[in-house]
Amino acid sequence: MVNGLPASEYYAQFAYEKYAGAPGGAAAFPARQDGINLFAATVYLKQDKSFIVYYAEGTGTVRSNGYTAEIPSSRMFKRTGAWSVSGGSLKLGDLLTCKGLKVDGNDALYCTLDRAIGYADAVGKSAVFTRSTHLSPNDRQWADYQ
C-alpha cells in the first residue's frame, strides 16, 4: 500500500496517458570543478510499462518549490526502459527508485538516482517529483536530449 492505495494503482496514476503530464524534480549534489551541482529530471511513465527519463545536469539552486539552473546541452540525456512496482517502490529500470508521498495534499514521488546517467556525484541523491504539465514526451523542449 502507498498512501492508502495498492502500490500498482498508486504509481499507475502517474502514467502519461492518464493526465497528459509527467512528474519531475531536481536534486543538488556537491559542486564539481566545472560548477555542475544539480540534476533535474522529468519522467514519462507509459501505460505499457515503458518510461522515458529526460535528465539534465547544470549549475544552479534547488529549492523546496523548484529550481533554477544553467544547463549545458552536453549535460542533457534521454534514457528509456521499463518500469515496475516492487513491494512499495516504483523502479525505473536500474536508473531510479521512487516511493510515494504527499506534497501539499497531492500525490507525488520521492525518487533516488540509483545509477549514473551523467556524473557519478549525483548517484544516491533524491528529489521530490511532483506532477507537471508537460504535454508530450515528443515536445520540442526535449529535442536536445540525447
Domain containing residue 81: CATH number: 2.40.128
In a domain, 46, yes or no: yes
Q: How far apart are CA 77 and CA 36, in angstroms?
A: 15
In a domain, 124, yes or no: yes
Locate 86 and state its grid cell: 516492487
Overall pTM > 0.75? yes
Q: Mean pLDDT across the chain, nearest whole number?
A: 94
For residues 29 and 39, the answer to whether their CB atoms sit within 8 Å is: yes
Q: Which domain holds residue 86?
A: 12-29+36-144
Question: In this predicted structure, what is the pLDDT of residue 100?
Answer: 97
In a domain, 6, yes or no: no
**45-62 tens-digit pLDDT:** 999 999 999 999 999 999
The alpha helices in 1-146, defined as continuous H runs, are 7-12, 16-19
> Which residues in the chain show pLDDT less than 70?
133-135
For residues 40 and 34, the answer to whether their CB atoms sit within 8 Å is: no
Q: Specify the number of domains making up the chain.
A: 1
Question: In this predicted structure, what is the pLDDT of residue 65?
Answer: 84
Question: In this predicted structure, what is the pLDDT of residue 134?
Answer: 65
